[in-house]
């Protein structure tokens, strides 16, 4: 009996129970659904303008893009930054819920179950295309609250994305469950962020010395 308990404890030590993780994810989704309807969004529309005023006409097109062009975009009340903060915090929270399964894929791949693989895939999906790393917010970084914290989070995501190219288990999950263009786009946006911020942030400068050799000669530096 003691041996069995020890074995189960060793297995459980690698990740929280899947049922608990799903409950946390359910609570997070419930929080989003309980937001005021003018603030709500769907995953499929995470780049769209929010309906900030029921009296205003609907604004078509995306609020967040990869490049805003040479003309500065100044939304009233910093609508872009506020919206990006809200939505990115949601996807960051979802990523954190599922992140332990990335660790398991990297260190205990032989113990990965089908449910573990699904959770790992959700972690990778949640780490892609965060609005805060896109334009217009990326071109107004000095207005982004807790800039240093986001930079450190982006560095962590970049290390994980790089691991999908060298780790068999994580790479297989990524290739089967995550769009490669999504990951490539995310890597380019986050590398651009760190490359820019390193001019004023010592932590970003240190991180860039780590990231540059890892991503050198890859298709992310465009």
Q: Would you say residue 3 lies in a domain?
A: no
Give how many domains the chain has, as a whole number: 1
What phi, psi does 40 have (nearest 5°)?
A: -70, 155
Total residues belonging to the chain: 222
Environment class of 176 (CB within 10 Å of its CB; exposed 0-12, middle 13-18, buried 19+): exposed
The pLDDT value recorded for residue 217 is 60
pLDDT digit string, tens, across residues 168-212: 999 999 999 999 999 999 999 999 999 999 988 898 999 999 999
pLDDT digits (tens, 9 = 90+) for 35-55: 999 899 999 999 999 976 544
Specify if 139 maps to a domain: yes
Flag whether 125 is in a domain: yes
pLDDT computed for residue 73 by the predictor: 79
Spatial CB neighbours of 92, under 8 Å, sequence gap ≥ 6: 126, 130, 153
Residue 117: inside a domain: yes
- Residue 40 to residues 31, 85, 91, 148, 212, Cα–Cα distance (Å): 10, 13, 14, 27, 37
Residue 2 lies in a domain: no
Confirm whether 43 is domain-assigned. no
Rounded CA gap, 64 and 39, in Å? 15
Reported pTM:
0.88
Domain-located, residue 140: yes
Q: What is the mean pLDDT of residues 83-97?
A: 98
Residue 8 falls inside a structural domain: no
* Res 59: pLDDT: 56
The residue segments making up the domain with residue 157 are 14-37+71-215
């Amino acid at each position: 009996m003691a041996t069995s308990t020890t074995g189960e404890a060793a297995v459980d030590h690698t990740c929280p129970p899947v049922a608990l993780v799903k409950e946390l994810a359910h609570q997070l989704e419930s929080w989003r659904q309980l937001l005021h309807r003018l603030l709500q969004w769907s995953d499929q529309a995470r780049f769209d303008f929010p309906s900030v005023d029921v009296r205003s006409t609907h604004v078509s097109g995306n609020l967040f893009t990869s490049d805003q062009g040479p003309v500065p975009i100044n939304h009233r009340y910093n609508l872009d930054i506020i919206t990006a903060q809200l939505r990115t915090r949601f996807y960051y929270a979802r990523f954190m819920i599922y992140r332990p399964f990335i660790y398991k894929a990297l260190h205990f791949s032989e113990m990965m179950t089908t449910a573990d693989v699904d959770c790992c895939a959700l972690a990778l999906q949640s780490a892609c295309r965060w609005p805060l790393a896109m334009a217009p917010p990326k071109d107004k970084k000095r207005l982004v609250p807790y800039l240093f914290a986001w930079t450190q989070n982006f560095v962590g995501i970049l290390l994980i994305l790089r691991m999908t190219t060298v780790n068999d288990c994580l790479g297989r999950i990524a290739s089967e469950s995550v769009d490669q263009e999504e990951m490539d786009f995310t890597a380019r946006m986050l590398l651009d962020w760190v490359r820019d911020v390193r001019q004023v942030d010592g932590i970003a400068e240190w991180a860039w010395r780590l990231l540059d050799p890892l991503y050198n000669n890859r298709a992310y530096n465009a």
